């Protein structure tokens, strides 16, 4: 066996430096991999069942379904104007749009859809009434609710006040007010619901009505019955 001369070996300090550099390099690669994995998870495409015309599902990433605040929004079957002072936030599969407003973001307004009649107008009106601790009303009183224009049709307008208890947050919130609009499109029903402290909802009432009236079918999406 032929031995290499001593000068062929790196000195001790060089070996330590190489070891340290290799270890740092491995840590850097591990950190990079974690960022890549998180990025892939956050941008994973999801299916949004918002088939106004029943033509099929729409594939859309979260960044498309719930875009950053913009004056004009709506990449799905509907489009809308975002009122000044409303902040778009992450919604859910059934919520096509979700907003917060108020100095402390105490108020919430969302646009949702359900298949068919969603249980019927009276059932939905009374569901909202129960959330504010109010008694149910009959079909006659429901039929007498005021109507506002929305998507070319007449949407029933609900305006009630009381102590609000949400489905997720069970903490009672006295002094709450709910503004809601319910529109049946045959195969689908649309709901616009605003809830929050009464004084904040009152300040946003005009924006609520303008949002409902400003809803439009996306020109790139088929309309019901087409």
**pLDDT by 10s per residue, the chain, length 226:** 444 454 544 444 444 444 444 434 433 444 444 333 333 332 333 333 333 333 333 333 333 333 433 444 555 789 999 999 999 998 777 899 999 999 999 999 999 998 888 889 999 999 999 999 999 999 999 999 999 999 999 999 999 999 999 888 889 999 999 999 999 988 889 999 999 999 999 999 999 999 999 999 987 655 544 4
- Residues 25, 80: one domain? no
> Is 224 within the bounds of a domain?
no
Which residues have a Cβ under 8 Å from the Cβ of 93 and sit 6 or more positions away?
46, 48, 49
Q: DSSP E strands: which ranges in 54-106?
A: 58-60, 72-73, 78-81, 87-88, 95-101
Which pLDDT does position 118 carry in this prediction? Answer: 84
Q: How is residue 3 annotated by DSSP? A: P
> Is 138 within the bounds of a domain?
yes
> Is 51 within the bounds of a domain?
no
Which pLDDT does position 146 carry in this prediction? Answer: 98
Total Cβ atoms within 10 A of residue 186 = 10
- DSSP letter for each residue of 203-223: HTHHHHHHHHHH-EE-TTSPP
Which pLDDT does position 200 carry in this prediction? Answer: 97
- Residues 107, 144: one domain? yes
> Is 90 within the bounds of a domain?
yes
- Residues 36, 73: one domain? no
- Residues 33, 73: one domain? no
> Is 163 within the bounds of a domain?
yes
> Is 162 within the bounds of a domain?
yes
- Residues 108, 22: one domain? no
- Residues 35, 88: one domain? no
Structural domain boundaries enclosing 22: 6-42
- Residues 76, 19: one domain? no
Please give the model's pTM, rounded to 2 decimal places.
0.66
- Residues 76, 149: one domain? yes
Residue 67 near residue 88, CB atoms below 8 Å: yes
For residue 86, what is the domain's CATH number? 3.40.1000.10
> Is 110 within the bounds of a domain?
yes
Residue 37, judged by CB atoms within 10 A of its CB (0-12, 13-18, 19+), counts as: exposed
- Rounded alpha-carbon distances, angstroms, from residue 90 to 4, 36, 73, 195: 66, 22, 14, 17
- Residues 183, 74: one domain? yes
- Residues 121, 18: one domain? no
- Residues 209, 165: one domain? yes
> Is 222 within the bounds of a domain?
no
- Residues 25, 117: one domain? no
* Domains in the chain, number: 2
Q: How far apart are CA 207 and CA 86, in angstroms?
A: 9
């Amino acid at each position: 066996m032929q031995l290499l001369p001593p000068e062929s070996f790196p000195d001790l300090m060089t070996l330590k430096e190489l070891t340290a550099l290799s270890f740092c390099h491995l840590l850097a690669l591990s950190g990079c991999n974690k960022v890549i994995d998180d990025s892939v998870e956050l941008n994973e495409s999801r299916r949004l069942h918002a088939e106004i015309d029943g033509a099929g599902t729409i594939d859309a990433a979260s960044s498309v379904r719930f875009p950053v605040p913009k004056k004009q929004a709506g990449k799905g079957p509907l489009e809308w104007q975002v009122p000044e002072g409303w902040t778009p936030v992450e919604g859910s599969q059934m919520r096509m749009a979700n907003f917060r407003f108020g100095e402390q973001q105490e108020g919430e307004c969302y646009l949702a859809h359900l298949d068919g009649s969603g249980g019927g107008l009276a059932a939905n009106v009374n569901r909202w009434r129960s959330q504010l601790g109010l008694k149910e009303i009959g079909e006659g009183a429901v039929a007498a609710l005021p109507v506002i224009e929305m998507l070319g049709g007449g949407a029933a307008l609900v305006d009630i006040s009381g102590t609000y208890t949400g489905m997720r947050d069970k903490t009672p919130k006295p002094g709450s007010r709910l503004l809601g609009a319910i529109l049946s499109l045959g195969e689908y029903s649309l709901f616009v619901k605003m809830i929050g402290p009464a004084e904040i909802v009152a300040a946003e009432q005009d924006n609520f009505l303008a949002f409902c009236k400003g809803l439009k079918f996306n020109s790139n999406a088929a309309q019901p019955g087409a």
